[in-house]
Amino acid sequence: MKNYVHSFIMISYVLCISKALAYQSPTSLRQASILFVEDPAGWGVATHPDPLWHGVLTSIVGPDGFDWFGPTEDPYEDGPDLTTMQQYDLVIWNNYDHFDAPTLTDDDQLNISSYISGGGRFWLIGQDAIYSNVNISFFQNNFNLETFIENYVFGAPSTHIQGLAEAAGNFFHIYADYWYLPEFYPDDLTPNADAHHIIKDTEWTYYPGILSNDSLTSFWAIDGRDPNPYSTWEQLVQDMIGVFLPGVAETVTKIPVQKLQLHISPDPFVYSTIISYSISRAEYVSLQIFDRMGKHITTLVDEFQTTGSYAVQWKGLDTNGATLPSGVYFCRLAGETSFATTTIVLLK
């Protein structure tokens, strides 16, 4: 596996990167919605704060919409405590390519578990979180992980990522830009019945990201480094934030938008259900169904529509007219500048 001389690397890093460059934990909270935790423990990227995440969050929610913690410089350095995290609606915690010792300290794991159990929304990113000896029960209990395949690709300099389900979109290229070893070592994650896949590696056909069905927690075993096109990456992050915090991702955008509304009745359903929605302006509209794996099932609407209310019947069939098995499906309505996603439960 990764046979590095950890002590040499850590000493070299400390000598090269001054502690004066580190962002410190917020001492006066601004009531921002999001806390981003840069927790590379010396691995991560060379420039701090991480320009990729700082830039995309600034673009989506504005400079006053998030606070920053880190970067951490030591594998045993704790991240924000429970009291700090409880000031925020969403915590995005990134461990980057940190693999030396547990990526999360014992205190971190306890604080994160307590934050989530109290209803906090949490997005964990760490390609070596499992490899680093964080107990698998932590991921099972907090992120609805069932099983995993570790390092489905070993040392890839680049790959492709595509959003699925609520975050469905086009794939984009990512290129590892970690300061010491610019390579990806992601894991394939299989969710239990209370979660589903949210991203796919389309180059290797694995799934390194899952999201709980209640939209409270997500775990990614890969990060969107050096994305191309950047706009697709930004849209994926905006969709994710919109899943966690409906409406927040639209408060600061280049084009003011209002999230569309979807209504499903009955839900759950056995034979058929009616999907109702309204649009406030004439625009091109698509209404699609996806399964828990993010696979496209069928398109119910794909046309230009005028302002008004609409209702579409879905009988639980795929594009070819085949009957689908019982389970959780996702309905995504998208206009030209806005979207909405909801779950549909089919019982057969």
Evaluate the CA torsion angle 316, 318, 320, 323 in order and state its sign. Answer: negative
In the prediction, which pLDDT does 21 show? Answer: 35
In the prediction, which pLDDT does 162 show? Answer: 94
In the prediction, which pLDDT does 8 show? Answer: 37
For the stretch 217-272, pLDDT in tens is 999 999 999 999 999 999 999 999 988 987 665 544 433 334 567 899 998 999 99
| pLDDT band per the 50, 70, 90 thresholds, residue 135 | very high
- Region 176-190: mean pLDDT is 94
> What is the rounded distance in angstroms from the CA atom of residue 133 to the CA atom of residue 124?
16
- Give the whole-number percent of the chain exceeding pLDDT 70: 85
In the prediction, which pLDDT does 336 show? Answer: 67
- The DSSP string of 136-176 is HHHHHHHH-EEEEETTSSSSBSEEEEEE-GGG---EEEEE-
- 35, 67 Cβ separation under 8 angstroms: yes
105 has a pLDDT exceeding 80: yes
> What is the rounded distance in angstroms from the CA atom of residue 69 to the CA atom of residue 150?
28
In the prediction, which pLDDT does 9 show? Answer: 37
Evaluate the CA torsion angle 228, 33, 143, 210 in order and state its sign. Answer: negative
Q: Which of 91-95, 137-141, 322-326, 332-336 has the lowest mean pLDDT?
A: 332-336
H-helix or E-strand containing 127? none
Put simply, whether the predicted model's pTM sits higher than 0.95 gets the answer no
In the prediction, which pLDDT does 54 show? Answer: 94
Nearest to 334 by CA among 229, 239, 252, 255: 239
The structural domains of the chain, ordered by start, are: 6-250 (3.40.50.880), 261-346 (2.60.40.4070)
298 has a pLDDT exceeding 80: yes
3-state secondary structure 235-250: HHHHHHHHHHCCCHHH
Instruction: Quote the DSSP letter at residue 322.
Output: P
> What is the rounded distance in angstroms from the CA atom of residue 193 to the CA atom of residue 105?
28
Helix residue ranges, H only, the chain: 6-16, 51-61, 82-85, 106-117, 136-143, 230-244
88 has a pLDDT exceeding 60: yes
Average pLDDT, the chain: 85
Q: Which of 75-84, 121-130, 331-340 has the lowest mean pLDDT?
A: 331-340
Could you give the C-alpha distances from 15 to 73, 85, 95, 269, 283, in angstroms and in order? 12, 31, 21, 62, 56
In the prediction, which pLDDT does 292 show? Answer: 72
- Region 32-55: mean pLDDT is 92
> What is the rounded distance in angstroms from the CA atom of residue 109 to the CA atom of residue 330?
31
What is the Cβ-side half-sphere exposure of residue 8, based on CA atoms within 13 angstroms? 4
100 has a pLDDT exceeding 90: no
